Structure 1
Amino acid sequence: MQPPINLPAPYGMHAGLSKAFAACPLIAILRGVTHTEAAEHGRALYEAGFRVIEVPLNSPQPFDSIAAIRHALPADAIVGAGTVLHPSYVDNVKAAGGELIVIPHTDGDVICATKSQGMACAPGVATPSEAFQALKDGADVLKMFPAEQFGPIVMKAWRAVISKEVPLVPVGGIAPDNMGPFLSAGANGFGLGSALYKPGQGAEVTAHHAKAFVDGLAIARGSKK
């Protein structure tokens, strides 16, 4: 018996990421955060309801920031790295306590290195071919990047051929008031960058922005019903 035509390979999401995503499907991207302030921003996000936090590797001393956030938060939070451009960095992220690797592109070597360490991977995809290849390599989440390029219309078309078991997460240009159309088109969550956090802002600002996104998601989900 052949497998479903819209599920090209056996799919099973990383257990820890699955639980965190079910609690709150918003991924906080702390690009530019410093290791001395990372923990307080992590706590502000967690208290607002976030359970997935990413520190891009083009931030200052990113492994120290990942470790600081990991030590500051309960075990149900997933902390990881973004902008991971080479598989050699996967070991560093794991050593810092990270459980998630996010990349802006589809790189089979990075995905396979991540999965070999028992970690979750969210590669960036811009075409259906990249999406299916990423799933074949073991991706847990498909990061549709940049979301401005797609919009809900493309999201809906992708969802018609990608199993509903596979989370589609638009990243780029997402705001508290524009999540509804993406959810209606089949999105499962969102990656949030500069609208949530900008380098140098205080933790109280991060907390305010985080609450706005959590509230916006609740409103969007309500309007979807």
Structure 2
Amino acid sequence: MEPIQAIRESRALIIMRGEFGDRLEDIARILVEEGFLAIEVAMNSPRALEQIARLALAFKDRAAIGAGTVLLVEEAQRALEAGACFLVSPHTDEALLAFGRKVGIPVIPGAFTPSEIWRAHQNGAAMVKIFPAMPSGPEYLRNLRGPFSDVPFLPTGGITVENAAAFLRAGAIAVGIGSALVNSQAIASEGLVRFREACRRFSRALREL
């Protein structure tokens, strides 16, 4: 599945950071069934490349699987070899963006200031991750929309089930959400049924705009 289309349709990019063990595919399956078609595995997770490879194999025809917290081109190369089809970074790095253009893979860099946002956009960012989204909040994003009306924004960092819709109303194309939804410790203690309920509530909140 084309990654940017998957993020736009889902209105969210799901970030999986941590160790999920044998439940990795089950968690991803619930996410996909509840309408989340773009999943990012953070590269600073234990066995991140193995997790990417497992998800890319299991969901190659159903979801876009990418790598997040990519800091270096070398990490990006390893992530693509594992099966990632898009890259997300917490910063704007021209080398990473050039690598993405070279290999034909979407790169979503992190940016915060107007200068960073413009530099990312000018260097071919598929979307710009406004990071961190909090504590500045939706109002900061709304103000950015004025001068950057054509830049697709993906606020990430501090996004929760409760505040996600406010960022969409402020002009975000989608939101990036991690531990507020996919928390390995919470899933281990509460189980997959509760996790599915949380995913369903989040999906409903994003679509009731």
Which of the residues 197, 207, 217 maps onto 2:206?
217
1:36 and 1:110, CA in 2 relative to 1: closer, same or farther beyond 3 A?
farther
**2:106 matched to 1:117?**
no
Among 91, 94, 100, which residue is 2:86 paired with?
A: 100
Match of 1:185 among 160, 164, 170: 170
- The AA in structure 1 aligned to 2:14 is A
SS in 2 for 1:148: coil
Structure 2 distance, partners of 1:79, 1:180, is 23
* CA displacement, residues 188-208 of structure 1 (integer Å, 9 cap, x when unaligned): 110001111112424444322
Write the deviation string for residues 98-120 of structure 1: whole angstroms up to 9, x where unpaired: 11111111111122212222111
Distance 2:25 2:101 in 1: 27
Post-superposition shift, 1:76? 4.2
Instruction: Give the total of aligned pairs.
Output: 205
- Give the conservation status (yes or no) of the 8 Å contact 1:168–1:189: yes
User: Take 1:168 and 1:95, find their aligned partners in 2: how far apart are those partners?
Assistant: 27
Whether the 8 Å contact between 1:44 and 1:204 is mirrored in structure 2 is no
Gaps of 5+ in 1: 1-14
1:79-114 deviation per Cα after TM superposition (whole angstroms, max 9, x unaligned):
011111111111111111111111111111122212
Tell whether the 8 Å contact from 1:26 to 1:189 is kept in structure 2 after alignment.
yes
Give the C-alpha shift of residue 35 in structure 1.
5.3
Mapping of residues 110-149 of structure 1, within 5 Å: 110-149=96-135
- Picking from 9, 12, 15, the partner of 1:26 is 12
The runs of 5 or more residues in structure 2 that have no matched partner are: none
Is 2:157 the partner of 1:168?
no
Question: What amino acid does structure 2 have at the position aligned with 1:128?
Answer: P
More off after superposition, 198-207 vs 44-53:
198-207
Tell me the percent identity.
34
The TM-score with structure 2 as length reference comes to 0.91
Output the CA distance in 2 between the equivalents of 1:85 and 1:42.
Answer: 24
Distance 1:198 1:76 in 2: 22
Corresponding residue of 1:17? 3
Please identify runs of 4+ aligned residues in structure 1 that moved more than 6 A.
none
Alpha-carbon deviation of 1:163?
3.0
